[in-house]
């Protein structure tokens, strides 16, 4: 589970990332990110009814996204607010797919620390 200090919860924070953040997309998942002056990176996962009308499906994909992001959390640069968005038509549905796409997104956005990106190569 993602700890409370790493969660983006306030509507104002989400709106700030949407308005001023940078955008990167890959394989059905998009990432909006914004540099902040917090000590840790915070993540938000808005999954709306355009993904599925069933709350169980939305909650499941949200849990998978959180777990995939938590896996990469130690290698993320601190002081970023990140919002991870899904394309409902062609989004990945398994944990392995989500984890690999998130890794691609984080490296594409240059959010991984130097030591983590060098060990992957």
- Domain ranges across the chain: 28-110
pLDDT at 53: 94
* pLDDT band, very low/low/confident/very high, at 104 (cuts 50, 70, 90): very high
pTM of the model: 0.87
Task: Indicate the CATH number for domain 28-110.
Answer: 3.30.230.10
pLDDT at 41: 92
Span 56-94, pLDDT tens digits: 999 999 999 999 999 999 999 999 999 999 988 888 889
Residues 26 and 103 sit within 8 Å (Cβ to Cβ): no
- What mean pLDDT value characterizes the chain? 90
Residues 24 and 108 sit within 8 Å (Cβ to Cβ): yes
pLDDT at 37: 93
Span 106-116, pLDDT tens digits: 999 999 887 65
DSSP string, 39-98: SS-EEE----TTT-S-HHHHHHHHHHHHHHHHHHGGGBPSSEEEEEEE-SSS---SHHHH
Structure-token match 């709350």, residue found = 55
């Amino acid at each position: 589970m993602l700890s409370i200090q790493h969660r983006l919860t306030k509507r104002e924070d989400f709106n700030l990332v949407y308005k001023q953040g940078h955008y990167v997309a890959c394989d059905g998942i998009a990432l909006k990110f914004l540099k902040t002056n917090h000590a840790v990176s915070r993540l938000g996962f808005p999954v709306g009814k355009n993904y599925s009308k069933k709350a169980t499906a939305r909650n499941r994909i949200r849990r998978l996204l959180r777990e995939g992001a938590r896996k990469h959390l130690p290698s993320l640069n601190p002081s970023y607010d990140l919002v991870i968005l899904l394309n409902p038509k062609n989004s990945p549905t398994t944990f392995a797919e989500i984890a690999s796409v998130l890794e691609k997104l984080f490296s594409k956005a240059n959010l991984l620390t130097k030591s983590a990106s060098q060990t992957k190569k």
